[in-house]
A and B are shown apart, each in its own frame.
Chain A
Amino acid sequence: MLSLVVALGLGAAILAVTGADPLEAYRTMFDASLNGTAAIERTLTYATPLILTGLAAAVSFRMRTYNIGAEGQLFMGAIAASGVALALPADLPTPLILLAVIGAGAVAGAVWAGFAAIPKALLGTDEIITTLMLNFVALAFMNYLIFGSMSFWRDPDRPVPQGKQIPDHAVLPAISGRLHIGFAIAVVLAVVLWLLLRNTTFGFRLRTIGDSHRAATYAGIGVPAATIAVMSISGALAGVAGAIEVSGVTDRLDPKALAIELGYTGIVIAAVARLHPLGVVPVAALLAAITTAGGSMQSIGVQVEVVVLLQGLIFLAVTAGEFFVTNRLELRRPAAAPQASPPTPATAAGGGGS
C-alpha cells in the first residue's frame, strides 16, 4: 500500500510540473474508473484481458519458464477467434459458437507458444528471446491481415482499412451494462489455475521444477514435457484473452485496439501478484482502474501518456516494495523454527499493495 502512495505522490509531482492540479486529476481518475456502476463495469471490462495475460505469465514464471510472448499469443488468439466467428454459420446454437470462438483463441495461442516451447524443451533454446521475437512477428502478421491486404478479416466495404465486424451471434453476452461474460470466464480460469497448481500432481511437478530444476530431474519429473505443457497452458490463456477481447470488446480484428501491451502488462501484474493466480485478479483490476482513468484525464488537459507513466511508476514502486516484504521474511528465517518454509507466494491475496 505504501508503494502505491509513493507512486501516486510521484505522479502528482509530475502532474504539478505539467501544470495540472493533481488533486483534481486524481478525483477525475477516481470518478472515471471506480465511482458508479458504469465506471466499475468499464474498469472490470478492461481488467479481463489483463487477468488472463497475468495468469499466462504467472503459470509459466512459476516454473521459471519465462514466457514473455503473451502479447503475440494474444494477437494470434484474436486472429483465430475472429476468423472462426466470421466463418461459422449463424444457425448453430450460440453456446457452441462462443465455445468455438474461445477455443480457437486458446488453440492459436498455445500453438504460437509452441514455437518457443518445443525448441526450449528439445534444445534448451532461450525462451525469453524466442517468445519476444514471435511477438513482433505476430503483430506484423495481424497488421498485414487488416492494413496490408484484402484478407478474409478485412471489411471490403470500407475504404479505410478496418476489420470485418463479427456477427451478433458470436458476441459475448453482457453480465451488466458493458461488462461481458468474459470477465466471469477469466475469474473462473484464475480459480481453476489456482486449484491446478495447488492440488494436482501436475501442479506439484511444475512447482518442483520451478524451485529446483535439478531436483526435479533427479526425481524423474519429465522437464521437457512439463515445459511444453506449461507453455501451452500459458499460450492458451493469452489466446483466450485475445478471443475475449475480439468477441466482447472490439467486435472485429482491430490491431490498434489489441496492440496496447496487454501481454507485457500481464507479466508485471503476475509479478506484483507474486505469481499467485488468485492475486492476479485484484492486481489486474487495480491496473485497469488506472488505465481506464486515462481517457478522462484528457478532459482536464492532461495527456494520456501520464497514465502510462503512472502505471509504470506503480509497477516500479510495487516491485521495489515487494523486496521489503520478502526480505523481512528472509531476515527472520534463521531465527524461526527449523521447518520454516521458503517464502512461497501463498499470501498474495492482498497483492494490490505491499
Chain B
Amino acid sequence: MNDSVLVLSIASALVAGTPILLAALGEIVTERAGVMNLGVEGMMLVGAVSAFWAGVHTGNLAVALLVGGLAGSLLSLVHAVLAITLRVNQTVSGLSLVIVGSGLSAFIGNVGDSPLLEAPNGVDVDPLLPAALADVPVLGPIVFGHDIVVYLAFAAVAVTGRVLYRTTFGLSLRAVGEDPAAADAAGLPVTRIRYLATAIGGFGAGVGGGYLVLAVLGTWQTGMTAGAGWIAVALVILAGWRPWLALIGAYVFGALRGLGFTLQIAQVDIPSDFLTMIPFVAAYLVVVLVSASPTRARRVAAPAALGEPYRREER
C-alpha cells in the first residue's frame, strides 16, 4: 500500500515543494516590508552551491543549510543596497541579481582542481523519525517518512505567520510595507527593517536552494534550480502574501514538478518537455484566474508600498 503511486507521489510532492516553500516564505517577508526582490532564482543558486560546498567539507546538514542561507542573505544585501539605499528600479536590480547569482554559482561550482560539479554529495539526508513509523500504512510515507527540513519548513510557516500577524515586529514590518512614511513618522526605522526583511528573504532562498541540491537532486549542476526561484516569486503573488496559502501552493507545485515521475510509474506516455511545462502553465493559468475573480483578493493583500523606494525628504 505504501508503494502505491498516489502515496509515493504525495510524499515526493512534499519534498519537492519544500525548497519552493522556503524561498517563497522568505520572499513573503521581504515583500511584506515593501521590497520586491525578483532575484530569488539567483539567491537559490548561490545558496545551493554554497550549501553543497559546505556539505562536501563538513558532511553536516545543518551547517550546510546554514551556509547556504547566509550566502543567500549576503547576495540579497546587494539588492538591499541597490533597492533601498540607492533606490534604483527594483525589477532591474532583482534581475541583475539573477544574472550575478547564476554566474557566481556556476563559477564557484566549476573552480579549482576538484570542482563541485563532479563532487559526490557530502551530506546524508535521513528521515527524522524511526523507520517503524514510516511503515505505517499511507500516513507513514506521507507524514512520518521525511527528513527534518520538511518539518522545519512546516514550522517556519507557522512561525512566519505568527510573527507577521501577532507580534510588534510583524506589525512594524507590515507597516513599513504598507505606508513607509507613516511608519517613519511613528518612529520605525524603515531602512533597517527593510534591510532585515531582505536578508531574511535571502536566507529563505538560500536554505531552499541548499535543500534542493542536497536532498532533492543530490548533485550540483550548473543552473540546477531550473526556474524554481521564479515559481517561488509567482507563488508569493498567488498566495496573496500569506504564509499558509504559500504552504499549500508550494506542495501543489511540488506535486506538479514531480508529476513526470508519477506518470512514468503509471505508464502514461507524455513527452518529458511537456511535463516540464506543467508547473509553469499552471502558475500562468492560476495568476490569470485569480486576477479574473470578482473579489480580487490578491489586490487587497498586496503591500501598498511594494516596489516603491522610500524617500524621507518626500514626507
A144 to B102, alpha carbons, bound, how many Å? 24
Say yes or no: A148-B284 contact (C-beta < 8 A), given A268-B95, A319-B93: no
- A125 contacts B288, CB within 8 Å? yes
Of B81, B92, B234, B271, which contacts A132 at CB under 8 A? B234
- B107 contacts A129, CB within 8 Å? no
- B103 contacts A308, CB within 8 Å? yes
Contacts of A306 in B (CB 8 A): 107
Of B92, B93, B110, B287, which contacts A126 at CB under 8 A? B287
Say yes or no: A144-B274 contact (C-beta < 8 A), given A264-B95, A305-B110: yes
Contacts of B86 in A (CB 8 A): 320, 323
- A133 contacts B273, CB within 8 Å? no
Answer whether residue B252 sits at the interface, using C-beta atoms and an 8 A cutoff. no
Shortest distance from the beta carbon of B8 to any chain A beta carbon, whole Å? 24
Shortest distance from the beta carbon of A332 to any chain B beta carbon, whole Å? 13
Answer whether residue A194 sits at the interface, using C-beta atoms and an 8 A cutoff. no
Answer whether residue B281 sits at the interface, using C-beta atoms and an 8 A cutoff. yes
A140 to B281, alpha carbons, bound, how many Å? 11
Our count of residue pairs bridging A and B at CB distance below 8 angstroms stands at 139
Of A126, A143, A149, A322, which contacts B88 at CB under 8 A? A322
- B273 contacts A130, CB within 8 Å? no
A25 to B271, alpha carbons, bound, how many Å? 44
- B100 contacts A271, CB within 8 Å? no
Of A119, A136, A141, which contacts B288 at CB under 8 A? A119
**Could you tell me the dominant secondary structure of chain B's interface residues?**
helix
**Could you tell me the dominant secondary structure of chain A's interface residues?**
helix
Scoring B38, B110, B233, B284 by chain A CB atoms within 10 A of each residue's CB, the highest score goes to B284
Answer whether residue B7 sits at the interface, using C-beta atoms and an 8 A cutoff. no
A132 to B103, alpha carbons, bound, how many Å? 20
Shortest distance from the beta carbon of A119 to any chain B beta carbon, whole Å? 5
- A137 contacts B277, CB within 8 Å? yes
The interface size bin for chain A is: 35 or more
Please provide the chain B residues from 269 to 295 with a CB less than 8 Å away from any CB of chain A in the complex: 271-274, 276-277, 280-281, 283-284, 287-288, 291-292
- B87 contacts A268, CB within 8 Å? no
- B230 contacts A309, CB within 8 Å? no
Of B99, B234, B288, which contacts A311 at CB under 8 A? B99
Please provide the chain B residues from 66 to 118 with a CB less than 8 Å away from any CB of chain A in the complex: 78, 81-82, 86-89, 91-93, 95-96, 98-104, 106-107, 110-111
Answer whether residue A342 sits at the interface, using C-beta atoms and an 8 A cutoff. no
Interface CB pairs A-B, < 8 A, 20: A123-B288, A125-B287, A125-B288, A126-B291, A128-B91, A133-B230, A133-B283, A136-B227, A136-B277, A137-B277, A137-B284, A144-B274, A148-B272, A264-B95, A268-B95, A271-B92, A308-B99, A308-B103, A309-B104, A312-B96
Residues of A within 8 A of B (CB): 14, 18, 61, 66, 68, 115, 119, 123-126, 128-130, 132-134, 136-137, 140-141, 143-144, 147-149, 261, 264-265, 267-268, 271, 303, 305-313, 315-316, 319-320, 322-323, 327
- In the complex, given contacts A132-B234, A137-B277, what are 13 additional A-B residue pairs having Cβ atoms less than 8 angstroms apart? A61-B91, A128-B38, A129-B233, A129-B287, A136-B280, A137-B281, A137-B284, A148-B273, A261-B99, A303-B111, A312-B99, A319-B82, A320-B82
